[in-house]
Amino acid sequence: MTTARLALDADHRIIGLEVETAANLGAYTSLFGPFIPTMAALKVLPGVYDVRHLVYRVKGVLTNTTPVDAYRGAGRPEATYVVERLLDAAAGVTGLDPAEIRRRNFVPPDQFPYQTQVALQYDSGNYEPALDKALELAGYRDLRADQAKRRGDPHSKLLGVGLSSYIEACGIAPSNVAGALGARAGLYEAGEIRVHPTGSVTVFTGSHQHGQGHETTFAQVVADRLGIPIENVDIVHGDTGRVLFGMGTYGSRSIAVGGTAIVKALDKIIAKGKKIAAHLMEASEGDVEYDRGVFKVAGTDKQKAFGEIAFAAYVPHNYPHDKLEPGLNENAFYDPSNFTFPAGSYVCEVEIDPDTGQTRIVNFTAVDDFGKIINPMIVEGQVHGGLTQGIGQALTEACLYDSATGQLITGSFTDYCIPRADDVPSYKVDTRETPCTHNPLGVKGCGEAGAIGAPAAVMNAITDALWSMGIKDVPMPATAQTVWKAIQSASKKAA
């Protein structure tokens, strides 16, 4: 349970935020159970807003329920939910449009890097363009006009429009911060590049995947950096007998941390290749440039293809043996200096049947800033998955216990209501870009974004539809029964 208060000045800018949380940890603590309501939530509690003062108190409570552990978003959906619900409530009280109150409080782009009131420093961001694009794609002005018309028609379904502007800290790092917090492991990642005599490449990464498409994305990074065909790149992960070392995939860190380790190993490959190329072309190493799969001597027509250098490394008949060992194989570790900070704005449009409480999501628009994007299709797929998961949290999903025995009665997917195809709309998605400043790829991470921003957008849409009835809050999940009860209660009070 969370109780929160927001203070605004006369210009409706945030002065302070106070949050108190009693977090159910279950019957006993799991590995990351206490981390979720404390550090995971705290590090993004200010959100994308210039919060001057912040107080956060959290108590972990052991109960008779199932233990909790890290889940997609892991604390960031909760923190986003608190701030975004408060802002919509503030908009309702002050009469400001929900979009306007967000604009007034965004961290200005000229203040980056931005030091938050908690420990983290946001390295880059520009939040208003994402909000503007989301409003444009959603047809926000027309929705508000339609909403006003419907409120005058007692036979019409209720229309609600909800906004959510989120930020997340991901690409978990650095190791010294983890150590200071009591972690017993580093948060680096390792990558190894093995170039074969044919010029093909095998990449060994410790960042295992479970559906994110590493085989494609990592291969794209390598092929682009080396200027070789993507079919010449093989990705190996999950094999502890072959991989140098690995911390796995979590916290939307794969491309930002694992990908950067690969890039650092690639840089070593290119550096060694320049030495070999300089020897073969009888040039100074400083004059050798590498571009799109070719080593060139600056200002001349001398050049060697990547495959020629790879062959020379393994068949060293003409080779600088006094300076280099044969072979072309390098590895690297990467320990980030900071988290990455994806952000974005979502617009959710819902219709509610006042007679049944049934809520239907008509449209959902998501505009995200993931820094540089390697593969747009994979990113879009991950956004879709996250949005669906967030919608499930808002509308259908809950762990229910029998009140008499304490027995979990939603112990399987037969009983636990995950969203299905007809529960979600066709999403409108787009991106804006402010590159990360502290990794060479400029990437941020995208795997959890949808699950972080979606619950608040959905619930803001529901309360927006019901606000004129005097309903200021509806608990999650907003099932038809829950919404119907809220409408009935408000009708009785009005009578």
Question: Is residue 272 over pLDDT 90?
Answer: yes
> Residue 281's pLDDT is what?
96
| Crossing angle of the two packed helices 128-138 and 140-151, in degrees rounded to 10 | 50
Q: Which residues make Cβ contacts (< 8 Å) with residue 402, sequence separation at least 6? A: 409
**How much is the pLDDT for 336?**
94
Is the four-CA dihedral 366, 370, 375, 379 of positive or negative sign?
A: negative
Query: Could you tell me if 337 and 438 are in contact, meaning their C-beta atoms sit under 8 angstroms apart?
Result: yes
Cβ neighbour number for residue 85 with a 10 Å cutoff:
22
Please give the average per-residue pLDDT across 328-344, as a whole number: 96
Output the domain CATH number for residue 311.
Answer: 3.30.365.10
- Model confidence at 184: pLDDT above 80: no
Does 200 share its domain with 147? Answer: no
Read off the pLDDT of residues 395-431 as tens digits, 9 standing for 90 and up. Answer: 999 999 998 888 899 988 888 999 999 999 999 999 9
User: In this structure, what token pair is assigned to residue 351?
Assistant: 């219709």
Domain boundary among 299, 318, 334: 334
- The pLDDT value recorded for residue 43 is 82
Say which residues have a Cβ less than 8 Å from residue 298's Cβ, sequence separation at least 6: 287, 288, 289
pLDDT exceeds cutoff 80 at 178: no
The boundaries of the domain holding residue 359 are 2-170+339-494
- Predicted TM-score of the model (pTM): 0.94
What is the overall mean pLDDT for the chain?
94
Report how far residue 192's alpha carbon sits from residue 489's, in angstroms, rounded to the nearest whole number: 62
Binning pLDDT at 50, 70 and 90, where does residue 260 land?
very high
Question: What pLDDT score does 494 carry?
Answer: 75
Q: What's the number of domains the chain is made of?
A: 2
Greater confidence, 75 or 270? 270
**One domain, residues 327 and 343:** no
Same domain, residue pair 148 and 187: no
Residues 371, 405 within the same domain? yes
| Domain edge (last residue) among 295, 311, 334 | 334
Q: Is the pLDDT of residue 197 over 80?
A: yes
Q: Are residues 145 and 199 in the same domain?
A: no
Residue 203, strand partner residues = 193, 235
DSSP 96-154: --HHHHHHHHBPPGGG-SEE-SSS-EE-----HHHHHHHHHHHTHHHHHHHHHHHHT-T
Q: Which residue has the higher pLDDT, 70 or 46?
A: 46
Looking at the structure, tell me whether residues 157 and 196 fall in a common domain. Answer: no
- Examine the domain organization and report whether 113 and 248 are in the same domain: no
In this structure, the answer to whether residues 313 and 363 fall within a common structural domain is no
pLDDT-above-70 percentage for the chain: 100
Do residues 460 and 435 both lie within one domain?
yes
Cα four-point dihedral sign 99, 103, 104, 107: positive
Q: Pick from 334, 360, 386: which residue ends a domain?
A: 334
pLDDT at position 410 is 92
For 201-239, what is each residue's pLDDT tens digit? 999 999 988 888 999 999 999 999 999 999 999 999 988
pLDDT given for residue 256 in this prediction: 95
Q: Which helix (H) or strand (E) holds 382?
A: helix 376-395
Q: 190 with 244: CB under 8 angstroms?
A: yes
Summarize pLDDT for 6-53 with one digit per residue, the tens: 999 999 999 999 999 999 999 999 888 888 898 878 888 999 999 999
Please tell me whether residues 186 and 53 are part of one structural domain.
no
Strands 233-237 and 201-205: parallel
Whether 144 and 264 share a structural domain: no
Mean pLDDT of the 174-189 span: 80
| One domain, residues 277 and 366 | no
Q: How many Å apart are CA 376 and CA 20, to the nearest integer?
A: 39
